Structure 1
């Protein structure tokens, strides 16, 4: 191992989407006091970092990713006193809080933008990106919005267009303005002084954009801006920083996460996620091709082995539930959820668990588009159906890939609304909450929850999982994902059946053993590895091989 150990190397992060986690005051929306009430549950799971999706003051056009005040809390979530209490109570349990920070854009209600649109010579005008209309009076160029339509919005008051890569209520900040940089750094230091454990930086690869050259992600100014941020804020502190970088390759990820470059701890890359999107379009879902999927994950494991660091995740607030996406959310929900957990948590990197993943929560299939709340889902449904896509086709794509799959309320028990709230929540609860909930999971020693708890314990007690080398096996096999993790002391063989089929597998000589120590499995623990083994549907295990090869 060539790298200096960091506290976050063996940490496990749990992502909370606050509006859907726990509603303490029964207004239909989750809040900070609700999170505080569940800290003992999270401690028992074993996680030691909580990443909160944004809780800042916001008009909630994009569920809080449109911030109107970086140094205040949205009233629906509570107060700054609640935030301070959450930090204090988490610290008592050795849990750190990571803040989700959005600095590519603000809300159009942020005081900077309110001032900026008053006049072209306002001191805050250059905090944002403005352009004159095109010669025909229309949009300046063809820059599109991630949420559909043009990325330019006309401002009547000043007769110019402002840029919004996302919603028109999320104007992009002008990172070429040193005052913007100073303001953001000052705000970040304010949060660091409060005692947070770090930042998850939303769409951070967009801050180096060059509009006139049509460059959005990974612009030439990106890394100098991040290095400047590092020096001005978290660089000399022992914090976890993770950047959301949709277009990152392993080479780009090394630029972000090689400690010598002084940027971030790690990034989120999405190459494995987009493999089930036809031509990169999430609204045209296609089946998972396992050999390609394995190649991508192996590439990231191997390429970042000695430089940089990997984040490990299956789902988040923007993605569908993993057991529905890559597993089986019906007959083999428990088995496949455990298999997917083992696959991910035995790899090298920092694992991220999204709320409800640890109990095997599934996608939701609402009957009508009217039951969805996500701005991206609603915009694309309207756009595609108006352009000829059949409503039932589009609804099927929504069922598979809508961001609302991960945003239905956390299922705590089998009472009304899954124990999330005593009143109707902001979005409906998944109807399967009577069977799939925390209370039922805690009562069942064979539940998905205890499997995750065991995986977290293993990571904290076995250095081979944290730092060991990664060697793929059965690379071309269409049904299993296998690999070996090894260091000077141990060899750990991990084998996962990604299908509902029973499989017979011939093991190569170096993986055969008359006796093995199994550390985790979702069926019986194997005692030996003969030349030929049989795997049950979604069977998964990790075994320590004898030291002699």
Structure 2
């Protein structure tokens, strides 16, 4: 029952997202590195993931912890060397897994040689590689564009008497993708890593890539509420999701497709579905997987999630393959949002919906957001408001009950504080318990791999009622039923939910038959073969 003809690996598989600073530290400096990741590949193979996605590991002054890149074609010594990277690619492939890396085309560090040359004078050959503009007559910024990190998105340069644009940190000037030389240079970055064997890219901040050529003011956001981030005070219609971005994506696809093999391009996109699906492109010339982040923000209730899934499925174009994300390095973890007990049902949801799922490191053991003292906060996004810091979702992976949870040596200080629950919420403890969340993830991943109905099958919503969410997945005559109780009280299962239990959040039920009057407890979920 393993035949899945006509589907590519990234359609069949599961992606595991690693934030390199926080996964495993082999050097002993308290910061995760490439060698540390390589040392944990056996665990990822045991878990059953198909691909690893790495957040940036490139040379950087670390103003935004690696997203301010000073050399796109090298490895920061903090994380290792190019030889370490090549070894990681080889070892990942040897275990039958793929490797995806972050590609950051929107901006560079202000210490990148390109920007240093651009900033040298208005006559610099690379002046037009970035977005420069004159001040208004009163000396103020050219328009009202705001930085995602707060404040104006324009930074004054005294030497040349102009402002440069930065969508994020002031030390992250945006590249000018309207310039063909910039496009060719950034295509060269893609070729560099493709030639080293990477299996694809997750493209950072993709909707920001092209800005309005006339630099028009963004209109006010009528739904803005005081106390929200200042970036939300305007609708970013002239700074994000511009129509020209699709031409840039087509150029990236030509580079990717020209290297052969089943390479994948994943686009970071926080957009409503009607805008998100446009990034698949016409004729398959867009992004393979425009990231669907809506599970992160949708209320955790059966009606809300059922409506979300139906809306997404209806919006997808015929050639569009769906994908789902529960957590990432920029948002609170799922166990924090829905509670550790409901994290079991969340795992079943993520890994049984139609499409490619992404698992964020640590979610498989139920890691929650860390408690970071104010003096230990590192994320620049929280510099103006600590509540906006992304550090809590980036705390080190919890491998065992040792003083530093196996993340780094006991005598090192982790770059972020470890969670107090690490002594019982860790890989070593959960690996030995069949009833653990970790073992549930492993059983789910094994079931996906053995059942094409779950990995590539169709999706059909089922009438359930109450706090139950139910649906069917079907492929080649095989039909599986999934049910989740997202409420606070037991719910009776509808008559259609009968058959042999293939998987349950209560593993003692697995292998048995569901018979009336079957009920599903709060936070429980199961997969049934009628």
Q: Fold match, TM over 0.5?
A: yes
2:500 is matched with which residue: 513, 517, 522?
517
Structure 1 Cα separation of the partners of residues 120 and 259 of structure 2:
39
Structure 1 residue 218 corresponds to structure 2 residue 241 = yes
Q: Deviations over 1:292-320 (max 9, x none)?
A: 23311332234337430122210011121
Structure 2 Cα separation of the partners of residues 156 and 407 of structure 1:
36
Structure 1 residue 135 corresponds to structure 2 residue 159 = no
Give the 3-state SS of the residue equivalent to 1:272 in structure 2.
helix
1:255-270 matches, within 5 Å, as: 255-257=278-280, 260-270=283-293
Q: CA, structure 1 residues 258+175, in 2 after alignment: closer, same or farther (shift >3 Å)?
A: closer
Structure 1 residue 243 corresponds to structure 2 residue 232 = no
Structure 1 residue 505 corresponds to structure 2 residue 487 = no
Which range moves more in the overlay, 310-319 or 518-527?
518-527
Name the structure 1 match of 2:323: 311
Name the structure 1 match of 2:124: 122
Which range moves more in the overlay, 443-452 or 30-39?
443-452
Shift of 1:421: 1.3
Shift of 1:373: 1.6
Structure 2 Cα separation of the partners of residues 91 and 3 of structure 1:
21
Gaps of 5+ in 1: 277-287, 382-397
1:15-30 matches, within 5 Å, as: 15-30=17-32
2:7 is matched with which residue: 5, 11, 17?
5
Which range moves more in the overlay, 263-272 or 316-325?
263-272
2:413 is matched with which residue: 407, 420, 424?
424
Gaps of 5+ in 2: 219-237
Name the structure 1 match of 2:397: 410
2:477 is matched with which residue: 467, 489, 496?
489
Name the structure 1 match of 2:306: 294
Structure 1 Cα separation of the partners of residues 347 and 497 of structure 2:
24
Structure 1 Cα separation of the partners of residues 478 and 389 of structure 2:
42
Structure 1 residue 369 corresponds to structure 2 residue 392 = no
1:348 is matched with which residue: 335, 354, 376?
354
Give the 3-state SS of the residue equivalent to 2:461 in structure 1.
strand
Shift of 1:321: 1.3
Structure 1 residue 201 corresponds to structure 2 residue 213 = no
So what's the TM-score if we normalise by structure 1? 0.87
Structure 1 Cα separation of the partners of residues 476 and 74 of structure 2:
50
So what's the TM-score if we normalise by structure 2? 0.90
CA contact (8 A) 1:504 1:532 kept: no
Structure 1 residue 465 corresponds to structure 2 residue 454 = yes
Q: CA, structure 1 residues 305+503, in 2 after alignment: closer, same or farther (shift >3 Å)?
A: farther
Shift of 1:517: 1.8
Structure 2 Cα separation of the partners of residues 305 and 504 of structure 1:
35
Shift of 1:143: 0.1
Q: CA, structure 1 residues 145+3, in 2 after alignment: closer, same or farther (shift >3 Å)?
A: farther
Structure 1 Cα separation of the partners of residues 432 and 199 of structure 2:
32
Which range moves more in the overlay, 138-147 or 370-379?
370-379
Q: CA, structure 1 residues 154+289, in 2 after alignment: closer, same or farther (shift >3 Å)?
A: farther
Shift of 1:173: 0.5
- The alignment covers a number of residue pairs equal to 502
Which range moves more in the overlay, 316-325 or 155-164?
316-325
Shift of 1:242: 0.3
Give the 3-state SS of the residue equivalent to 1:72 in structure 2.
coil
1:112 is matched with which residue: 108, 111, 114?
114
Structure 2 Cα separation of the partners of residues 231 and 67 of structure 1:
24
CA contact (8 A) 1:295 1:475 kept: no
1:90-169 matches, within 5 Å, as: 90-169=92-171
1:379 is matched with which residue: 364, 384, 393?
384
Q: CA, structure 1 residues 304+89, in 2 after alignment: closer, same or farther (shift >3 Å)?
A: same
CA contact (8 A) 2:265 2:287 kept: yes
CA contact (8 A) 2:211 2:240 kept: yes
CA contact (8 A) 2:293 2:324 kept: no
Structure 1 Cα separation of the partners of residues 384 and 486 of structure 2:
34
Name the structure 2 match of 1:185: 187
